[in-house]
Amino acid sequence: MSEKMKLTADQQAILGGEQGETLAKVMETLVRYGELFGADSMAPVTSRYNHLVTSFGLKALGPVYDLMDKLIAEGAASMQQFSADPRPVDKNVPSSFLQNFVFQNFMYTKQDFYEEQLGKLGLMDKDAFTCACYLDQVGNTPKEGEVLSWSESSAVVYANSVLGARCNRNSGIIDLMGSVVGYVPNFGLLTDEGRKATWIVEIKTSKKPEAQLLGSAIGMKVMEDVPYIVGLDRWLGTLDDGAKTYLKDFGAATASNGAVGLYHVEGITPEAVRLGRKLVAEDAQVYVVDDAELQRVYDSYPVVWKNKNAKPKLCFMGCPHMSLEQLTTWTERVEQGLKESGKKKVAIPTVFTAAPAVIKEFEATPYGERLKQTGVILSYICPLMYMNNPLSGKMPVITSSNKLRTYTTARYYTDDEILVQITKGGN
């Protein structure tokens, strides 16, 4: 029996073992986890779908598969269907013989097995593998105020901030467990108090700040706190598809370069529109971002390539996965860049990544063929999973994703710099 958290009779019954030992342990895990953060109760999960961070059949995650098997054996499937992060391997993405050997024989040998497990546990569609599950084409888009048991830092921060849903930065396994019992511990970003901003960030740049760079700067400054951002509405206008794409990339950088789970943008995000500066806590600290500050942050990134002047061998765009609007815009930008340089194909092998459902819709438009003509490869892969091994880590890979930069050896460039590299040169 929990001594600190008030449980309902139903929750207490699960904890007491009335629905089996495995479910009792699931509830015990969630209660103990919540009590560490002062949770006073368990909140019902109210979203239609869940989202899981673990999508990769890594041989090394045997203990996770064993735990999943226990849940399946006890009939403890998820109460919700769910999407999951991107698949780790795609034969369309350039890789060496040795990389393929490592992927297939050492790293992702459990992929088919794990996907079968996910199917039994409630995967919403056989291709529901993307970190940007909230995009319209994928269909896992929670409504404002709904309570989630999601993981995947970039998806959690988007759901909280842009959609106004309520979700903590859950770890893998905890995400599934919340969905299995239908409750999550009530603390942090699930509460009104926890959603208050303890930082005011004033944007004073001379042009629209690079989303991935601004997110990185704010993430590194506020870490896990909630920022209230002032002055960005001047550059974003309204919450249209372009602004949503911007906030997708911005948020992923705040979450990976720091540990932000929620941000408010004055005049743009739903809670900020509704509540304005009532969202700002007393004694909030102030952080001013101007051109010099963004340059300082950019210059602070370490280049971990052995040969810092190496010619890039691969370019990844789409961590998190690109939106339909982004694919369209980038097709035009790449075409224009190639036209200016007199080239027909990109100068560096370049991979754009997106959700399978987004790729399908994009390829049904004329833009699909146009992008193909530029030589850019379109894939559903997770660039992080591609990069997270010593062989890929030694490759000089470039990206405009600050998340990919943070977790791997990929080198960060702004969108404009990436465009120059892939259309005009290779160094």
Partner 1 sequence: MRQFQGRVVSPGKLTAKALVSHGGLNTLASFQKALQFGDKKATCGDQNNPDLYGKEMAGKALCLPRTIGSTTGGLVLYCACSMGRQPACLLFSEPIDSLAAAGAVLADVWLEGEHTAMPVVDSLGEEFLDYVQDNMTVNVLPDGVVQVI
Candidates 356, 355, 354, 335; CA nearest to 346 is 335
Q: Between residues 138 and 410, which has the closer beta carbon with respect to partner 1?
A: 410
> Is there a contact between 61 and 54 (Cβ–Cβ < 8 Å)?
yes
Instruction: In angstroms, give the least distance from the CB of 270 to partner 1.
Output: 23
Q: Between residues 79 and 259, which has the closer beta carbon with respect to partner 1?
A: 259
Parallel, antiparallel or unpaired: strands 314-322 and 350-354: parallel
8-state DSSP, 107: I
Q: Between residues 247 and 255, which has the closer beta carbon with respect to partner 1?
A: 255
Instruction: In angstroms, give the least distance from the CB of 153 to partner 1.
Output: 5
Q: Between residues 59 and 343, which has the closer beta carbon with respect to partner 1?
A: 59
Instruction: In angstroms, give the least distance from the CB of 188 to partner 1.
Output: 8
Residue 411: in which H helix or E strand, if any? Answer: strand 411-412
Binding site for partner 1 (CB under 8 A): 25, 28-29, 32-33, 36-37, 53-54, 58-64, 67, 106-107, 151-153, 156, 168-175, 188, 224, 256, 258-259, 302, 304, 384, 388-390, 406-407, 409
> Is there a contact between 230 and 202 (Cβ–Cβ < 8 Å)?
yes
Instruction: In angstroms, give the least distance from the CB of 21 to partner 1.
Output: 11
Q: Between residues 180 and 419, which has the closer beta carbon with respect to partner 1?
A: 180
In degrees rounded to 5, what are phi and psi of residue 118?
-60, -40
* Angle between helices 174-181 and 62-73 in degrees, nearest 10: 10
Parallel, antiparallel or unpaired: strands 314-322 and 397-399: parallel
Instruction: In angstroms, give the least distance from the CB of 150 to partner 1.
Output: 9
Task: Give 408's contacts (C-beta < 8 A, 6+ positions apart).
Answer: 383, 384, 387, 388, 392, 393, 397
Instruction: In angstroms, give the least distance from the CB of 109 to partner 1.
Output: 11
Q: Between residues 85 and 233, which has the closer beta carbon with respect to partner 1?
A: 85
**What are the b/e assignments for 68-100, b being 16+ CB within 10 Å?**
beebeebebebebbbbbbbbbbbeebebeeebe
